[in-house]
Structure 1
Amino acid sequence: MQAFIQGIGVGGSLIMAVGAQNAFVLKQGLKRSHSLPIAALCSLIDALMITAGVAGLGHLILAFPLIKDIASIGGAVFLVVYGARALHSSFIPQALSSESELKGDTLRAAVLTTLGISLLNPHLYLDTVVLLGSISTQFDGADRPLFGAGAVLASFVWFFGLSFGAKYLSPLFKKPKAWCYLDRFICLTMWSIAVALIWPYL
């Protein structure tokens, strides 16, 4: 069980960092707009990447840096556009009410945004496939899959917890100012990650 517990600890510490995925899941949870499918999709993507890492596919990414380059540039462009949308939204008064809770993107749009935020972020591959995959090599036999299972569990608990926990912030977001600050925070997060992705190429 030591490998399983370590997997939970390492996986949890990586996923809890403020990032594009977490900001998007939080906002959709507050809006109650397809929050559970989005949490499930983020968790499944992490699970697939962690499994690939534990299986040893991290060496492929290291062997072909072009994969990382494409994801970095594409991800930076996507995050700049999404951040601009969030900034624009911050100037439009809105509040969390019974009417506005029902409004939002279609499920298809939400799924595509989730895929873009997740798969175009090279940190996803570096953290899950490369880093967790490398750490898993210290375990032998059945302990390695247990380490991966612990990291996968941490991801599911985090994303669903973030999605469900957003409802406790609902009273705060009945005030339009709160949405303004959240959208600007999301914009800052997206643009900061975009700069970090593109900086090595400048």
Structure 2
Amino acid sequence: MLLTYATGFGLGGGLIIAIGAQNAFVLGQGLRRNHPMMVAFVCAFCDAILIAAGVAGLGTLIAAYPILTKIAAWGGGAFLIWYGFGALKRLFETETLSEEAISKTGWQAVLSTTLAVTLLNPHVYLDTVVMLGGIGGQFPADQRLFFALGAMSASFVWFFAIAMGASWLAPYVARPVTWKIIDGLTCAVMWLVAYSLLAPEISAMVAG
């Protein structure tokens, strides 16, 4: 059972740690000290639900209906492009870690954006529901729970680590030039992920 848990933890960590839109968002909120613990919990909790659903068999259902992945790709790509434009806009503003900057975004807005970054990104479903769910489904029935718990634990450890780590680093990266770099990288990551989602769909439309 411990080996199965460790396998889930290792595979989950390997997929979640990869640089992507969700990690960039969590890092940015942590550096801004803008409800970082809530952001980390929401991301990890959503991952836990999706991992459980995948191990329970949802990944097989999604694979049987490709239209679901197409809808997710277009919706997620559009959102990430929009969010990237927001980061690009901030490049031309003077942003610091003053108390005004920290408190200007309420928890409701941060929560809704966190859910959007998490649930409108098809890569999240591919990693948690399809890949982890598919791998976990190959274990004997009495070991799937331990595999899922291992993957869930990796998600909680990772998101809280980067949220707390970024919050701790915030006082040392308070210069405006640092924020221009962060927003530039955020914009690049969001648009690269959007491109990876939309390019295959656009190519398929052109070829069709």
Task: Please give the TM-score of this superposition, normalised by the length of structure 1.
Answer: 0.96
Which residue pairs with 1:159 in the alignment? 159
1:93 lines up with 2:77 in the alignment: no
Contact 2:36 2:167 in 1 (8 A): no
How far does the alpha carbon of each residue in 1:112-159 deviate from its partner, in whole angstroms, 9 at most, with x for none? 111111111111111111100111133113211100000000000111
Distance across 1 between alignment mates of 2:110 and 2:98: 20
Letter in 1 for 2:10: G
Contact 1:31 1:104 in 2 (8 A): no
Deviation above 2 Å: which 4+ runs of structure 1?
Answer: 97-101
Which residue pairs with 1:17 in the alignment? 18
Cα distance, 1:82 vs structure 2: 0.4
Letter in 2 for 1:146: F
Contact 1:7 1:146 in 2 (8 A): yes
Cα distance, 1:98 vs structure 2: 4.2
Which residue pairs with 1:137 in the alignment? 137
Cα distance, 1:99 vs structure 2: 4.3
Task: Please give the TM-score of this superposition, normalised by the length of structure 2.
Answer: 0.93
Which residue pairs with 1:187 in the alignment? 187
Which residue pairs with 1:75 in the alignment? 76
Letter in 2 for 1:159: F
How far does the alpha carbon of each residue in 1:60-115 deviate from its partner, in whole angstroms, 9 at most, with x for none? 110111111111001111001100000100111122234433x2321111111111
How far does the alpha carbon of each residue in 1:157-178 deviate from its partner, in whole angstroms, 9 at most, with x for none? 1111111111232233211100
- Structure 2 unaligned spans of 5+: 203-208
Distance across 1 between alignment mates of 2:33 and 2:174: 13
Q: Percent sequence identity over matched residues?
A: 47
Letter in 1 for 2:192: S
Distance across 2 between alignment mates of 1:177 and 1:61: 44
- Within-5 A mapping of 1:88-127: 88-101=89-102, 103-127=103-127
